[in-house]
A and B are shown apart, each in its own frame.
Chain A
Amino acid sequence: MSAELLNVTNLVKNFELRVNNGARRKKRIVQAVTNVSFSLGKGETLGLVGESGSGKTTVGRCVLRLIEPTSGSVEFEGQDLGSLKFEELRALRRKMQIVFQDPFASLDPKMTVGASISEPLIVQGVPGDHTDKVIELLELVGLSADHAQRFPHEFSGGQRQRIGVARALALNPALIILDEPVSALDVSIQAGVVNLFEDLQSRLGMSYIFIAHDLSVVRHIADRVAVMYLGKIVEIGEQEAVYEHPTHPYTKALLSAVPLPDPKTERARTRIMLEGDVPSPVNPPSGCRFRTRCWKAQDVCAQEEPMLTVRPSGQMSACHFPES
């Protein structure tokens, strides 16, 4: 087993929402992330999946301390980020980077690609001329030295995503959070970017949190997978166990909803059709948050919150009546 790089324990993030309701102002709490715990080993990839609004991005932003968690702890290389002073946090932050979904929005259009890539080095006060480092990084992500002088609009989506990755790699991070890094890309281009992530990891040994709603891509790249529903992890474990033997009804339904690119398989599959949409995180259901859409729900599901429990195939899931 690799030593743990990251330990997240009972992470909670509530957002306060001010609703203007005519003359009256109401305050509402969005429970974006509730009691999320997981760990991540060195050189490991954890996939974070779940539907829109399930809290994936919020988890990522809390881990990087881009936003302050409401409660819970994030330990990185054994240090509790919440107890660090500003300067200490800044020094640690260079080891944690994020790559966003939208390769178009995440680069400054007025900066050359070279300037964008060296910016983190300058911000972190790394001394010297960064030209060689920029070229090394460009080549690492499959671009070339002469790209450094060009501007983002001269690049395609896949190339811009590579520039974003080069920028994230500038400070030799130990952890990169990839938030929907290939969702905006065409499938034929996605494959190259996914290969790039795999190659960089085997060469440089960093860990990834790979956030995506595309379950097939996550299956391909992740060692372990966490499935989120309405702010909570409902199932977490080895990729193979979760995909081959899902034990939480939501995981099972989610996997069965994913269309597979093979007509014969599609015709042979039995699908679990969930009813309705995900409820609002402002007022999540009591007990098990999935119970309003779960075909197995009983009275106990509304009263008692199911705890994450180890299942025979090795993963953990939070359900009173797990699938076998």
Chain B
Amino acid sequence: MTEKVLEIRDLHVTFDTPAGPLEAVRGLDLDVSAGELLGVVGESGSGKSVTFLATMGLLPVRARVTGSVLLAGEQLIGASAKQMRSVRGRTLSMIFQDPLSALNPVHRIGVQISEMLRSHQDLSASEADKRAVELLDIVGIPQPSDRARQYPHEFSGGMRQRVVIAIAIANNPKVLIADEPTTALDVTVQAQILEVIERVQERFGTAVVLITHDLGVIARVADRVNVMYAGRNVEQGTIDSLFDHPSHPYTRGLLASLPRPGKQRLKPITGFPPNMLNPPSGCAFHTRCEFAADICKNELPNLVGFGDLLTACVRARELPKSESFA
């Protein structure tokens, strides 16, 4: 067995809203192995960001978080603000869709990287500056020593995302969480950023959690993938297994809905994503599932080993084999 760097167990996150409590994450289990690139997919509102914001301790205080998140053995749920500050940027880093919001507009790029280095490591100013230039080089920024003296507004969107990655990996974290890091970028720039992320993963052995809605991105870079629906992990496996023989009806539906060359007619998943203020009982997918039976409304399925996948479907064993998407 490979070493687990991040183990999430029975995570619940509830927000108090004017319309009542909203449980965005509802008993989620998820593992990240050392050095792997784990993709996380799921439709908008399925709880992807909330899960990892909870992991980072970045949710607003009014969010109620319970369960267990172990980062290399260290419990993060219930950790003090001081403990979380020491974890963030050192063992665990996160990057987002909009790189500009992560950068300070009035500080030079190099200074921002040096600050991140010196807040967790005992380095002299000149050592940190030198390391900052190396990091810019690692993420593929040309003329890094000149660029280190520039400000965020002098960088294009793709270059800013590289800078954000440089800051995130400055202290060689065990886990890098990337939440839709290429969604705001053009496809040719997305290809560059995905390459940088893969390079970081390979060169430093960083485990990467890549949140995306794009199954193409998953197929390109991920080793394993987790599929989320209504605040739960509904299926998990290697990309080859998952694309070749998806087991969960939602995973099947997602893969079948995509346009592919030569396909005559697209196959949508019927219905609409659940209202998380009042999610369906039992398996939350039962309102849209073509295989739903009475039992699905009453029983909350947990992840169970099914061939080489983990699947949360009470009927997984009875279902007809899925078509292959690999």
Contact = CB atoms under 8 A, between A and B. Distances in A.
B220 interface: yes
A261 B257 contact: no
Nearest to A198: B265
B188 A159 contact: no
B269 interface: yes
Interface in A184-225: 186-192, 194-195, 198, 213, 215-217, 219-220
Given A257-B191, A261-B325, A277-B156, A189 B255 contact: no
Interface stretch (A115-123, A173-181, A262-270, A300-308): A262-270
Interface in B229-268: 239-240, 243, 253-255, 257-261, 263, 265-268
Interface string A132-160: 00000000000000000000000011110
A241 to B, nearest CB: 13
Nearest to A196: B268
**Interface of B (DSSP majority class):** helix
Interface in B308-326: 325-326
A67 B254 CA distance: 39
B216 A258 contact: yes
A259 B243 CA distance: 14
Interface in A209-267: 213, 215-217, 219-220, 243, 253-254, 257-266
Contacts of A274: 188, 191-192
**Interface of A (DSSP majority class):** helix
A282 interface: no
A273 interface: yes
Contacts of A186: 43-44, 213, 273
Nearest to B222: A263
Given A186-B213, A261-B215, A213 B186 contact: yes
By Cβ-Cβ distance, the 7 closest A-B pairs, closest first, are A259-B216, A192-B268, A191-B268, A191-B266, A188-B269, A220-B259, A51-B186
18 contacts: A159-B272, A187-B215, A187-B254, A216-B216, A216-B260, A220-B266, A253-B188, A257-B190, A257-B191, A261-B218, A261-B219, A261-B243, A262-B219, A263-B326, A274-B188, A274-B191, A277-B186, A277-B189
